[in-house]
Amino acid sequence: MTTRLYEHPIFLEHVTPPGHPERADRLRSLNIALEHPNFARLDRKQAPQASEDAVLLAHPEEHLLAVMRQIPEEEDRINQLEADTYASSKSLQAALTGVGAAMAAVDDVFSGAADNVFVAARPPGHHAEKTTAMGFCFFNNAAIAARHAQKAHGAERIAIVDWDVHHGNGTQDIFWDDPSVLFCSTHQMPLYPGTGALQETGTHNTIVNAPLSPNTGSDHFREAFKSRVLPALHDFRPDLIIISAGFDAHHRDPLAQINLVGEDFDWATGRLLEVADRSARNRVVSLLEGGYDLEGLAESAGLHILRMIKG
């Protein structure tokens, strides 16, 4: 497998207030892990910045303008957009570079430049609804990547698999009535943002939620994957799999109570690569979402990326 990695120093310049869990040290910790010789085969590329127009693939212009209005000009200032979401002077550039990397990753798997791609970006995206920045997210990178695959590469069916411990309410909101995108999510329930019940299935039964009870672990996660996520993927036969790869279901994570270990992310990655091999010519684009324990994040994301390299 050729596995590409998109990174960019601008991702470290999106500044949140002291003590905020979504911080630049997350990427620093992952970058250190990726210096291991195991990752020598990674094809590392600097992420390109998307145009502002790219955001309009998944959000109305009013949302883009609302985010832009709240970006501070002063370098030392941080603006609060809502309860958990903050912007500094470089946040728009960082968010647009995350969008650009997700779109470039889609281009790469369709052109054959890479079999699969990991995007190590922040801020994350899966909580961003059509018109709402929330939960540390401005723009929904996974949704924009899916729309880009359809528009630029003629993809017909796209699956977005979200194993972040929080429900991907933004992605569900954007694709609620779109039969061309299957959205599958495992997440702790109850937990922020409160959505993601089994009965939330979308207009065309293309939303598949697999909520997990607090204090469960590998067995429940793998069972949910085997009984709900994998059968849905098997039936849907996607042309592309996009992973909303959050690593906050790791047992060390401070924001949730699911007890996964690093090997669970290796296992789940392997199962998705099998689906991609069957129906999507191996095309997998994985986008970093959450993961707030530095050690748990580095371990889990490292094993996920290693599985993508090995195939």
Q: Which of residues 211 and 246 has its CB atom nearest to Zn ion in the complex? A: 246
For tokens 């943002």, what's the residue? 193
Total number of residues binding Zn ion (CB under 5 A)? 5
Q: How far apart (Å, rounded) are the C-alpha atoms in residues 111 and 197?
A: 37
- Identify which of residues 158 and 258 has a Cβ nearer to Zn ion in the complex: 258
Give yes or no: 148 in active site.
no
What's the closest the beta carbon of residue 76 comes to Zn ion, in angstroms?
28
**Which of 8, 126, 127, 166 is flagged as catalytic?**
127
Under the binding rule (CB under 5 A), the answer on residue 123 touching Zn ion is no
Q: C-beta of 45: minimal distance to Zn ion in Å?
A: 26
Residue from the set 127, 166, 250, 252 that interacts with Zn ion by CB under 5 A: 166
Task: State the minimum distance, in angstroms, from the CB of residue 254 to Zn ion.
Answer: 11
Q: Which two tokens stand for residue 201?
A: 């299935």
Applying CB under 5 A, does 100 fall inside the site for Zn ion?
A: no
Question: Which stretch, 98-106, 198-206, 238-246, 274-282, contacts Zn ion (CB under 5 A)?
Answer: 238-246
- Is the Cβ of residue 169 or residue 279 nearer to Zn ion in the bound state? 169
Nearest to Zn ion by Cβ — which residue?
A: 290
**123 vs 246, which CB is nearer to Zn ion?**
246
Asked if 285 and 159 count as a contact pair (C-beta separation under 8 A), the reply is no
Among 98, 123, 168, 246, which residue sits at the site for Zn ion (rule: CB under 5 A)?
246
Residue 248 engages Zn ion in binding (rule: CB under 5 A) = yes
| Catalytic residue annotation | 127
Contacts to Zn ion by CB under 5 A: 164, 166, 246, 248, 290
